Each structure stands twice: as C-alpha cells, then as structure tokens.
Amino acid sequence: MALPLSDDLRERIIRFHENHDDYTQQELADEFGLSKSFIEKLLRRWRTTSSSAALPHAGGRTRALQYHDPTLQQLIAAQPDATLAELQTRIAKKTKLQVSQPTVCRALQRLRLRRKKRSSLPASSSEQK
C-alpha cells in the first residue's frame, strides 16, 4: 500500500505547474518521479477544490465479528479445546452470522485467545538406541 505524499510535496507540484505552463502532465510526473495518473488527479482536485491536501482515509471493511468479542470469550471459556469448525457453528447459532474458519481464527488471535487443542501425550515407552 502506497503512503500518501506530503502536503508540502503536493504544494510544490502545484507551484511548479503554475510557473511552468509549458510542461505536460507526463513531464511533471517525470520531474517529480510520480505517475501521470497521480498528477492528473492532483491537478483536477486543485482546479475543482483549490486544495492539494490528501483526502482522509476512507476506512475499509469492518470485521465480521467486530461486536462479538464477549461471545467469543464465552465460547472459549466454556470449551477451550473447541475446533475452529465447532466455534464457527456455535458463533452461527449465537449470533446468526455465517463466518469462515479463518475469520474465527483471526478474531481469536486479535483477542489473544488461545485454544487448548489436546492434553499432553504421555512420554514414549520405547527407548531410543
């Protein structure tokens, strides 16, 4: 994921463009080491809004189990050795959400909830020679 360019650099590009009308957008892009599409978008924004500042982050997808942390904690406390498939089924019954096993796993990791998969096995009785 690319980081947004600083407002200072954006303003320098706009000033350069205003002082060098003979430069094409491609030449501007080459001058600053940026893509032509970025220059096009920056200049369009400048013309329409008089602002060159980066837009705020728009967000993204919310987690499917975002509001169900207490439910996950209860399910793990009730049965620490439950498999992901079992947890997936129980979450569906309790919350009416259909989520994938990887989604369940990520939620457990985010909450730092560990599942006890099985008890320790006894030591082997055969000796190694």
- pLDDT for the residue 57: 78
pLDDT tens, per residue, the chain with 129 residues: 567 789 999 999 999 999 988 999 999 999 999 999 999 999 999 999 999 998 887 888 888 998 999 999 999 999 999 999 999 999 999 999 999 999 999 999 999 987 766 555 565 666 555
CA 113 to chain centre: 21
- pLDDT for the residue 14: 95
CATH code for the domain of 40:
1.10.10
Among the listed residues 32, 37, 38, 36, the one whose alpha carbon sits nearest the alpha carbon of residue 54: 38
42 and 73 both lie in a single domain: no
Could you tell me if residue 33 is inside a domain? yes
For the record, the structure tokens of 10 come out as 């954006």
Could you tell me if residue 89 is inside a domain? yes
Domain count, the chain: 2
The C-alpha angle 65, 103, 101, rounded to 5 degrees, equals: 125
- pLDDT for the residue 63: 87
Could you tell me if residue 121 is inside a domain? no
73 and 106 both lie in a single domain: yes
75 and 104 both lie in a single domain: yes
Q: Which residue has the tokens 């590009």?
A: 13
- pLDDT for the residue 124: 60
Could you tell me if residue 30 is inside a domain? yes
For the record, the structure tokens of 5 come out as 């360019």
Dihedral of the alpha carbons of 91, 96, 98, 102, in degrees to the nearest 10: -30
DSSP label at residue 128: P
Could you tell me if residue 38 is inside a domain? yes
Separation of first and last alpha carbons in the chain: 55
- pLDDT for the residue 61: 84
Q: What is the pTM of this model?
A: 0.49
Could you tell me if residue 82 is inside a domain? yes
Length of the chain: 129
The residue range of the domain holding 24 is: 7-49
Could you tell me if residue 2 is inside a domain? no
Could you tell me if residue 99 is inside a domain? yes
- pLDDT for the residue 21: 84
